[in-house]
Amino acid sequence: MHYRRMGRTGLKLSEISLGAWVTFGSQIDEKTATDLIHAAYDQGINFFDNADVYAGGEAEVLMGRAIRGLPREALVLSSKVFWPTMPGPNGRGLSRKHVIESVHASLKRMQVEYFDLYFCHRYDPDTPVEEVVWVMNDLIRQGKILYWGTSEWEPHQIMEAIGIARSLNLIGPSMEQPQYNMFHRKRVENFLAPVCRDYGIGLTTFSPLYFGILSGKYNEGIPAGSRASMESMGWLRDLITPERIAIVRQLTELANELDATTAQLAIAWILRRKEVSAVITGASSLEQMDENLGAAEIAEKLDDDILERIENILGNFPE
């Protein structure tokens, strides 16, 4: 396992991490979750990503049980706040009230005393950024979180938070969690990359396989038991277009030349970016996790010729 600094901080993250979204609390049971986390830890993964809204809080409960027996100081645990998780008009957003109540609830569900990383899950237009910076700074001072960051914020919003923190001598954001993959790349490569370079923000990217499409599992249709076959995932089926499948089939052929799977090629392609501190992967089985971890070796095979071939297949190089 390779480890990367999270932006300009001193914190080191496994470049491939394990996330709880969709799988924990919905697709896998407690035994599978425990087996996955312990196997991931044994193979060098130290960053485990979560959020208060995943599976209505059950993902945090499940992960909290699954990490029992592992040394807390060796783990980097995260959660997030923004989406509705409590009743009433203050049960969502980034107000001081909701953030404080949400972090306390998440810590209780995870059965830990602090989060290493705490993300503002979206930008809140109803809460002044100064209020957000202050409450995050307070949580750090109280030892309830160690670093704070954003998820899916626009670059100018991140820079506003950094500017406010600097002007008030407070602790600003250290990381951003954007979607980034072969089909969704412009925002990271055109707009977030300069923020990372100029302000030292690290990226912990999610959805490396574009909701599983870049794994190649849908090349011949939608398999029974797959995420796209779930009734609640109708939006995912809308993304599985003939045009995308044609691209993935070409990527599969290229991956075969590299003795890799399509998923490994897609993850390795993300690892080529220095701004990326960690790629958050999901897994519902040990075999799937092992496959994802193999992407690190494939990244070393992505020379200029291979990268050019990938660009020609994708045809979406950001202008």
Catalytic residue numbers, as ranges: 54
Q: 264-296: b or e for each residue (b if 16 or more CB lie within 10 Å)?
A: bbbbbbbbebebbbbbbbbbbeeebbebbbbbb
Question: For residue 192, what is the DSSP state?
Answer: I
What is the pairing mode between strands 47-49 and 276-281? unpaired
- Kindly tell me the sign of the dihedral angle through the C-alpha atoms of 1, 199, 179, 86: positive
Task: Tell which residue, 190, 202, 240, has the closest CA to residue 12.
Answer: 202
Three-state DSSP class for 295? helix
Chain centroid offset of residue 269 CA: 16
Token look-up 């919905």 returns: 26
- Contact of 188 with 203, CB cutoff 8 Å: yes
Give dist(CA 232, CA 250) in Å, integer.
29
Overall size of the chain counted in residues: 319
Cross-strand partners of 205: 279
Number of neighbouring beta carbons within 10 Å of residue 32:
18
What are the C-alpha distances in Å from 226 to residues 36, 132, 219, 229, 295?
Answer: 18, 38, 13, 5, 22
φ and ψ of 206, to 5 deg:
-120, 170
Task: Tell which residue, 148, 199, 156, has the closest CA to residue 177.
Answer: 148
- With the CA atoms of 123, 124, 129 and 131 taken in that order, what torsion angle do they form, in degrees rounded to the nearest 10? -130
